[in-house]
Amino acid sequence: MTRPIGYFVHHQGRGHAERCAAVVNALPESQPVTVFCAKPDIFPTFTRAVEVITLPSLFEATGAEDINDTTSAPDMVHCAPLGWPGIRQAMAQLAAWFASANPVLMISDVSAEVAQLARICSVPHVKVLQHGQRGDPGHRAAYDGAVGLLCPAAKALAQPDWPARHMAKTHFAGGLGVDVKRPDPARRDRLRERLGVGPEQRMVLVMSGGGGTGFASAPFGIAARAMPETAFITIGRMARDWHATEPANLRHHGWVDNAADYLAAADMVVASTGNTTCHQILAAETPWLAVPEWRYFDEQVEKAEALARAGAPRITCRIFRLPPRHGAARFKTPSMPMTRPCNGPWSMRMPP
């Protein structure tokens, strides 16, 4: 009997699930796969048989917690609060599966704790490598203990501080989980007409991903009033202000299944530097004002700087960088975030 592959998927955002589906769908049908996730409904379609097991969330409270924890987090783990039965149950499910299924491999996308649990249980694991300040002991242990690392980006976007021992076992897979076909210029006029954008009108697309609370809508209302001849269209989750009076040239389309069509129609896109968002915009070749959102370990800030080094997007003039230990998830609130100019070029002007 063929030993199974296990796959842990973090349920924040969509990129983790999209990568998982791409990897699993590429495996032969004869290879058993078991996927573990707290939200099984986030996955795109699997094209082959897959066992999906729902785990308790590792970070969302249910009310059953005994939250009297005043200890600091150990350096070797990031998310290990005391008194959380959901975490105990999730780790127990994984450990029991390791013992009963005898997996040939475990893939962690992403959790340093799950990766370390696999190693402790004597299961080979592959750890997904993301951008960010991840030189802390917890990440180093997960990477050092892995039989391989999978980076969903081009090698040109590798951070200069990634150690050689990790780079030597990293497979770079730019575009993994995302349709990265180049745009068809012949479709542009038809797409703009479908979106109600005039042939000579300029269009700014605002893409707001699913990994956070979404961009605030109010600043784009101000921008739309300042540029009344320009069509501003948003897709994804936007944080609306109840007292904002938005102009008619700002339209919110919410979640859409055809983001590539919007990108092909746009003259410029404003978006974060989330993984799926980056791949979609780079594939579309649309001029891009990249705005990193806050994430643990400065993930999007480091991705923006990697893109700037590669000369890819137009980057915002300033980005927020957290003090070093805050980026390593010390769960302390800094009195004042530090700001510094981005290394890359930036411009608020529309492309000609």
Residue 348 has pLDDT above 50, yes or no: no
What is the pTM assigned to this prediction?
Answer: 0.86
Query: What would the pLDDT profile of 21-34 be if each residue is shown by its tens digit?
Result: 999 999 999 999 99
Nearest to 284 by CA among 352, 185, 186, 208: 185
Three-state DSSP at 129 gives coil
Hey, what amino acid is at 33? V
123 closest CA partner among 205, 202, 8, 206: 8
Q: What is the mean pLDDT of residues 105-109?
A: 98
CB-CB contact of 284 with 260 (8 Å): yes
Who's near 20: CB < 8 A, 6+ residues apart?
7, 9, 35, 43, 107, 109, 177
How far, rounded to the nearest angstrom, does the alpha carbon of residue 299 sit from its chain's CA centroid? 9
β-strand partners of 260: none
Hey, CA dihedral for 344, 347, 350, 352, is it positive or negative?
A: negative
- Tell me what pLDDT residue 352 has: 45
Mean pLDDT of 7-36: 95
Q: Return d(Cα 223, Cα 226) in angstroms, integer.
A: 5
Q: Give yes or no for a contact between 271 and 207, defined as CB atoms under 8 angstroms apart.
A: yes
Look at residue 167 in the predicted model and tell me its pLDDT: 98
**Average pLDDT for 338-344:** 36
Indicate whether 221 pLDDT > 50: yes
Both structure tokens of 67: 């939250």
Tens-place pLDDT, residues 116-174: 999 999 999 999 999 999 999 999 999 999 999 999 999 999 999 999 999 999 999 99
pLDDT above 50: residue 268: yes
Of 103, 95, 159, whose CA–CA distance to 129 is shortest?
A: 159
| Closest of 18, 33, 22, 6 to residue 118, by C-alpha | 6
Contact 207, 229 (CB under 8 A): no
State the CB neighbour count (10 A cutoff) for residue 251: 16
Phi-psi region of 331 (alpha: psi -120 to 50; beta: other; left: phi over 0): left
Q: What is the Cα–Cα distance from 65 to 170, expressed in whole angstroms?
A: 38
Does the pLDDT value for residue 346 go beyond 80?
no
Tokens found for residue 207: 């893409």
Count of CB atoms situated within 10 Å of the CB of 156: 13
Mean pLDDT of 338-345: 36
